[in-house]
Chains A and B, each alone.
Chain A
Amino acid sequence: MSAAPGTPAVDPLEPTPFLVGRPGDRALTEELVATVLGPTRRGWLLLVAALGAGMAFWLVALGATLFVGIGTWGNNIPVAWGFGITTFVWWIGIGHAGTLISAILLLFQQRWRTSINRFAEAMTLFAVAMAGMYPILHLGRPWLFWWLMPYPSTTRLWPNFKSALPWDVFAISTYATVSFLFWFLGLIPDLATLRDAATTPRRRRIYGLLAFGWRGSARHWRHYRIGYLLLAGLATPLVVSVHTIVSFDFAISLLPGWHTTIFPPYFVAGAIFSGFAMVVTLIVPARRLLGLERVITIRHLDNMNKVILATGLMVSYGYVMEHFMAWYGGDPAEAFAFVNRWTGPYRHLWYLQLFCNVVTPQILWFPRMRRNLVVMFVVSLLVNLGMWLERFMIVVVSLSRDFLPSSWAMFRPTWVDWGLLFGSMATFGVLFLLFLRFLPVIPIAEVKELRREFDHEDRLVAGGPGHRPEGAP
Chain B
Amino acid sequence: MRTWLVAEFAGEPELLAAARALRARGHADLDLHSGVPLHGAEEALGLRRSIVPRLALAGGLSGAVAGYLLQWWTVGVDFPINLGNRPPHSPPAFVPITFELGVLVAAGTIFLGLFALWGLPRLHHPVFEVEAFRSATIDGLWLSAGVEAEEADGVAAELERLGARRIERVPEEGEP
Contact = CB atoms under 8 A, between A and B. Distances in A.
Interface of A: 24-26, 29, 150, 156-163, 166-167, 170-171, 173-174, 177-178, 181-182, 185, 189, 192-193, 195-197, 212-227, 230-231, 234-235, 237-238, 241, 245, 248, 444-445, 448-449, 452
A161 B110 CA distance: 27
Interface string B78-122: 110101101000100110110111011011101101110110111
Interface of B: 31-38, 41-42, 45, 47, 50, 52-53, 56, 60, 70-71, 74-75, 78-79, 81, 83-84, 86, 90, 93-94, 96-97, 99-101, 103-104, 106-108, 110-111, 113-115, 117-118, 120-125, 127-128, 133-139, 142
Nearest to B86: A162
A225 B34 CA distance: 14
A177 B108 contact: yes
Nearest to B95: A167
B114 A213 contact: no
A223 B50 contact: yes
A154 B176 CA distance: 60
Contact of A216 (B34, B78, B81, B120): B34
A222 B41 contact: yes
Contact of A215 (B97, B123, B136): B136
Contacts of B60: 234
Contacts of B137: 189, 192-193, 195-196, 214-216
B120 A214 contact: yes
27 contacts: A25-B35, A158-B75, A161-B71, A161-B94, A162-B93, A173-B104, A177-B107, A178-B104, A181-B110, A193-B138, A196-B136, A212-B120, A212-B121, A212-B122, A215-B136, A216-B33, A216-B137, A217-B33, A218-B38, A218-B42, A221-B38, A225-B37, A226-B50, A226-B53, A234-B106, A234-B107, A237-B99
Closest 7 CB pairs of A and B: A25-B139, A158-B74, A212-B121, A218-B41, A213-B122, A218-B32, A196-B134
Contact of A222 (B42, B108, B128): B42
Nearest to B142: A216
Contacts of B41: 218, 221-222
Contact of B37 (A197, A230, A449): A449
A235 B110 CA distance: 12
Contact of A230 (B31, B47, B110): B110
Contacts, number: 185
Contact of A223 (B35, B101, B114, B138): B114
B96 A167 contact: yes
Contacts of A226: 50, 52-53
A223 B50 CA distance: 6
A220 B138 CA distance: 16
Nearest to A190: B137
B157 to A, nearest CB: 23
A161 B93 contact: yes
A368 B42 CA distance: 46
Contacts of A177: 104, 107-108
Contacts of B136: 196, 215-216
B100 A224 contact: no
Nearest to A225: B37
B119 to A, nearest CB: 8
Contact of A213 (B34, B123, B133): B123
Given A215-B33, A218-B33, A221-B34, 19 more contacts: A150-B70, A162-B90, A174-B101, A189-B137, A192-B137, A213-B120, A215-B133, A216-B35, A218-B42, A220-B118, A223-B50, A224-B114, A225-B37, A231-B107, A235-B107, A238-B100, A245-B100, A449-B36, A449-B37
B102 to A, nearest CB: 9
A53 B105 CA distance: 39
Contacts of A163: 83
A170 to B, nearest CB: 4
A150 B100 contact: no
> Counting chain B CB atoms within 10 Å of each CB, which of A24, A215, A226 scores highest?
A215
A230 B53 contact: yes
B79 A178 contact: no
Contact of A224 (B37, B99, B101): B37
